[in-house]
Amino acid sequence: MVQLEPNSTECVCSDLQHDDYSPIYAWYNWVLIIICLPSISVFGVLSNCVNVFIYSRKRMKSSANTYLLFLSCSDFLVILTGLFIFWVDSARSYIQELSRAPYTTVYTLPFGYMAQTCSIYFTVAAAVDCYINVCWRSFAASYCTVKRAKQILITIIVGSIVYNSLRFPQFNLRKCLHEGTQEMVIEICPTTLFFTINTIYNVYF
């Protein structure tokens, strides 16, 4: 469960610098995240809905299309979680009704990581399937089947959930006093576990 840390007078996480938030950065963030991101996301959501409709047809059933079907679903989730995380988190600075968004965003982050991990390895699995189908025709008959594809996809999904389940305790909520407005706001900050895991990953992987 995410803990809400005691009140603080500093609304900047330990991994961020106060100087980063210049007027130019704020304007760039507003244009790119608030204006452009929703439009691009809507296009991505509609495109993936079309892909799901096409690849789920019976006449389209094959190992390659099974990978693409699952990839469309995971990309759909990546867009939704990304839109919620980035747009809502940025928009709460302009829309008062979204001020409590961090309470749900902190839980959405791990699911976004899960969907992202699935998308990456679904792409790899689809590429391997295509390679075997083209270059190893003798092996393709036993490997490039819908049943085998589903087994691999389920393994990827389970692995992504297990791997990213550690993301839940990596973030917490900090209640603090904003210097500009002098109002109590809530910020999402990484915990010590976040930095520990990132250090291990960067050093050994």
**Domain chopping of the chain, boundaries:** 17-168
Starting at the edge strand found earlier in the chain, the sheet holding 171-177 runs: 4-8, 171-177, 184-190
Mean pLDDT over 137-161 rounds to: 93
Mean pLDDT over 170-197 rounds to: 72
| pTM recorded for the entire structure | 0.76
Domain 17-168 has CATH 1.20.1070.10: yes
Cα–Cα distances in angstroms (integers) from residue 75 to residues 54, 107, 123, 204, in the given order: 15, 19, 11, 28
68 contact partners, CB below 8 Å, separation of at least 6: 51, 55, 126
Q: What is the pLDDT of residue 7?
A: 45
d(CA 156, CA 122): 8
Residue 167, token pair as written in the block: 């993301």
